């Protein structure tokens, strides 16, 4: 580990990433998903909290969820048991009928291209991360909309897995995935930083897409360009090449075409089948959807000891106001809110702080929903009164247009953070040295509890990471 101050760490918690490291045997990393999707295993982690009268009222929604899980295991549970082994298809039985799932419906697009930067060089991976926010060449700042616009001259932030790339570097050839008369070249307009990974180092850069003249002079959208030249960006830790069927398997069944923009799947949602969603609905479990376009920063390991020195990538999100109304209604009725995946958590928690800023008059006349990496920690110290989650969501319904709340967030959730909109979390088992692991650690409320849970998963040979098994973790904070 190194300790390089590469990010404004004002307000950041003093958390050592080493406290949340565990040994992950390589053979437990799932290279392929199971079929059917909901036959994956599910580890339920209860709170283990003593229920005083005061705490029972404060955490009523969490304990409603916990009681439902205990009821499912009534015949087999041992006294004091907090870890229960199940299968994902059991979710409809585990959850109470008043539970409310919040899912990220962003769709993965084929964001990985291969190009030749040297006249005598080989293929170089170019992993597109997101639309370049401040480029005057881009037709919009919305990634989903930009994908439907002319690709020529658009600028995107990308990871180029090649050392020595500088501003002005241009590709000799961009490799297509099939037969096409369309030709593209990529030009590096700015290099931002080094990108260090075990799979190969490179740079993070701004790349401009240039449409070369050919006999085919029709307009090509950015989405079409990715279809012609891109491949599905499977996580590098899978250790294998892309295969037939991976594109469908690395996509949730509820992903929407109009919400395309993720370069990595919100993997907790991969376990759901249409049949399971229908069974949950029949039971009464509410389902609401948010959009957060997952960036490749989710693969980026933490290479420093203190989380305060790690830089998070900004990711775009949007939430329909109808979804906000649904979540608000459940909050007011004391129903358990269960985000599916860490991306859904980050959207919900970001919404809380946007509403808090509105109520504390933190915005100027031009409301811009953009949350900094450590901003929530600073706001918690700054505000004299922190509103309830319901108050924050209600405030959001009064601003902007009538359709959705849109913005971006680089929020980092680490141990010490207090969750406002997460009674339980459905998530996969994550890599050590990752921000996802720290978010899980924050929800479990202690490094010892986190390690005990993951040790159990290793011992019982759960499958880990993107194509692996899932966990249902209850909010253990008092």
Task: Please give the radius of gyration of the chain, using alpha carbons only, rounded to the nearest integer.
Answer: 22
Split at pLDDT 50, 70, 90, the class of 365 is low
Q: How many CB atoms lie within 10 A of CB 414?
A: 23
What is the structure's pLDDT at 3? 34
Q: How many CB atoms lie within 10 A of CB 53?
A: 7
Statement: residue 90 has pLDDT above 90: yes
Residues 6+ apart with CB under 8 A from 216: 180, 181, 182
What is the structure's pLDDT at 4? 34
Residues 6+ apart with CB under 8 A from 150: 139, 219, 220, 221, 222
Among residues 418, 421, 416, 277, the alpha carbon closest in space to that of 338 is found at 421
pLDDT tens for 154-169 read: 999 999 999 889 999 9
Better pLDDT: 11 or 13: 13
Split at pLDDT 50, 70, 90, the class of 66 is very high
Statement: residue 110 has pLDDT above 60: yes
Asked if 308 contacts 14 with a C-beta cutoff of 8 angstroms, the reply is yes
Split at pLDDT 50, 70, 90, the class of 352 is very high
Q: pLDDT exceeding 90 applies to what percent of the chain?
A: 75
For 4, counting Cβ atoms within 10 Å of its Cβ (0-12 exposed, 13-18 middle, 19+ buried), the class is exposed
The secondary structure of residue 141, as a DSSP letter, is S
CA pair distance 407, 33, nearest whole angstrom: 32
CA pair distance 435, 25, nearest whole angstrom: 20
pLDDT tens for 282-327 read: 999 999 999 999 987 766 788 888 998 888 888 999 999 999 999 9
Among residues 417, 351, 343, 355, the alpha carbon closest in space to that of 380 is found at 417
One-character DSSP codes across 88-103: GGGHHHHS-TT-EEEE
Q: Is 260 helix (H, G, I), strand (E, B) or coil?
A: strand
Q: How far is CA 20 from CA 310, 373, 434, 455, in A?
A: 15, 20, 9, 12
Split at pLDDT 50, 70, 90, the class of 6 is very low
Asked if 295 contacts 317 with a C-beta cutoff of 8 angstroms, the reply is no
How is residue 302 written in tokens?
A: 């933490």
Among residues 267, 276, 158, 283, the alpha carbon closest in space to that of 222 is found at 158
**Residue range 357-385: average pLDDT?**
87
Q: Is 203 helix (H, G, I), strand (E, B) or coil?
A: strand
**Residue range 423-444: average pLDDT?**
96
pLDDT tens for 225-280 read: 999 999 998 888 888 888 989 999 999 999 999 999 999 999 999 999 999 999 99
For 168, counting Cβ atoms within 10 Å of its Cβ (0-12 exposed, 13-18 middle, 19+ buried), the class is exposed
Q: What is the pTM of this model?
A: 0.93
What is the structure's pLDDT at 1? 37
Residues 6+ apart with CB under 8 A from 381: 11
């Amino acid at each position: 580990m190194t300790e390089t101050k590469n990010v404004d760490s004002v307000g950041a918690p003093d958390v050592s990433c080493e406290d949340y490291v565990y040994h992950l045997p390589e053979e437990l990393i799932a290279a392929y998903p199971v079929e059917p999707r909901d036959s994956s295993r599910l580890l339920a982690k209860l709170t283990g909290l003593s229920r005083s009268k005061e705490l029972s009222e404060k955490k009523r929604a969490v304990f409603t969820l916990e009681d439902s899980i205990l009821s499912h295991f009534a015949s087999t549970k041992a006294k004091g048991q907090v870890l229960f082994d199940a299968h994902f298809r059991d979710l409809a039985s585990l959850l109470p009928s008043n539970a409310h799932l919040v899912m990220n419906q962003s769709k993965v697009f084929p964001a990985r291209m291969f190009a030749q930067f040297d006249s005598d060089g080989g293929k170089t991976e170019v992993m597109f991360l997101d639309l370049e926010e401040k480029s005057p060449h881009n037709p919009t700042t919305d990634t989903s909309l930009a994908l439907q616009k002319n690709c020529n001259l658009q600028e995107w932030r990308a990871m180029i897995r090649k050392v020595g790339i500088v501003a002005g570097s241009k590709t000799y050839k961009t490799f297509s995935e099939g037969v096409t008369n369309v030709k593209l070249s990529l030009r590096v307009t700015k290099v931002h930083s080094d990108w260090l990974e075990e799979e190969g180092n490179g740079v993070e850069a701004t790349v401009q897409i240039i449409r070369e003249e050919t006999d085919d002079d029709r307009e090509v959208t950015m989405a079409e360009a990715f279809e012609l030249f891109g491949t599905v960006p499977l996580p590098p830790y899978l250790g294998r090449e892309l295969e037939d069927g991976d594109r469908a398997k690395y996509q949730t069944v509820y992903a929407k075409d109009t919400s395309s923009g993720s370069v990595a799947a919100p993997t907790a949602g991969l376990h759901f089948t249409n049949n399971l969603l229908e069974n949950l609905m029949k039971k009464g479990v509410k389902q609401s959807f948010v959009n957060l376009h997952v960036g490749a920063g989710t693969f980026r390991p933490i290479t420093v000891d203190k989380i305060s020195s790690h830089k998070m990538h900004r990711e775009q999100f949007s939430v329909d106001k109808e979804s906000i109304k649904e979540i608000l209604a459940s909050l007011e009725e004391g129903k358990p809110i269960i985000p599916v995946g860490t991306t859904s958590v980050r959207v919900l928690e970001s919404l809380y702080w946007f509403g808090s800023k509105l109520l504390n008059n933190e915005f100027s006349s031009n409301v811009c929903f953009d949350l900094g990496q450590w901003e929530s920690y600073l706001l918690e110290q700054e505000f004299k009164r922190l509103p309830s989650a319901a108050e924050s969501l209600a405030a959001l319904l009064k601003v902007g247009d009538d359709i959705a709340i849109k913005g971006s967030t680089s929020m980092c959730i680490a141990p010490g953070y207090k969750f406002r909109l997460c009674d339980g979390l459905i998530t996969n088992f994550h890599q050590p040295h990752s921000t996802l692991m720290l978010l899980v650690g924050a929800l479990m409320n202690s490094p010892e509890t986190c390690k005990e849970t993951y040790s159990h998963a290793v011992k019982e040979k759960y499958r880990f990471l993107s194509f692996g098994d899932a966990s249902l973790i209850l909010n253990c904070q008092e």
